[in-house]
Amino acid sequence: MTSIPLSLRRKVVIALDADHVTSDNNEGEGRFLCFKTVAWCKANLLRPQQDHVFLITSLDDAMGAFDGGVLSAMWTSLNSPDEDPHASRAKAAEASLRRLASALHATGVSCTIDVLRGPPAQTVSDSVRVRRAVPRCW
């Protein structure tokens, strides 16, 4: 089967909640919800070799100062003051999105990840508009 060029593929944005993507609780419940969301999309929505997925999440730094994940990161970073808690949260989000993207790549769906900064209501809608994509938010 001939691969469709990226410019002609249907573009789908899957926006995932930053709190779930960066969750670090022992059960990993938030990350499991993200995995289930992507698995559902893969089974019911996405067409291998015909779609391109943008996996995105948006970190709202204004709210993040009192977010439990950031507070935990700040507490941890007291031992290493050179580390920015917002940067470590962004790294955690990127690592989670990479794992999800690799699962999509394995099934023939091309994928790009993006960790956005700002209020999700604004950054996600802007991202969809720029990419001219079909939005799917969870």
Average pLDDT along the chain? 80
Looking at residue 103, its pLDDT comes to 92
pLDDT of res. 64: 46
Q: Taking the domains of the chain in order of start, what are their residue ranges?
A: 6-137
Taking domain 6-137, whether its CATH number is 3.40.50.620 is answered by yes
Q: What pTM, to 2 d.p., does this model score?
A: 0.74
Q: What is the pLDDT of residues 43-102, one digit of tens each?
A: 999 999 999 999 999 998 765 445 555 555 555 555 555 555 556 888 889 999 999 999
Q: Please provide the DSSP assignment of the chain as one string.
A: -PPPPGGGSEEEEEE--HHHHT---TT-HHHHHHHHHHHHHHHHT--TTTEEEEEEEEE-HHHHTT-HHHHHHHHHHTSSTTS-HHHHHHHHHHHHHHHHHHHHHHTT-EEEEEEEES-HHHHHHHHHHHHT-EEEE-
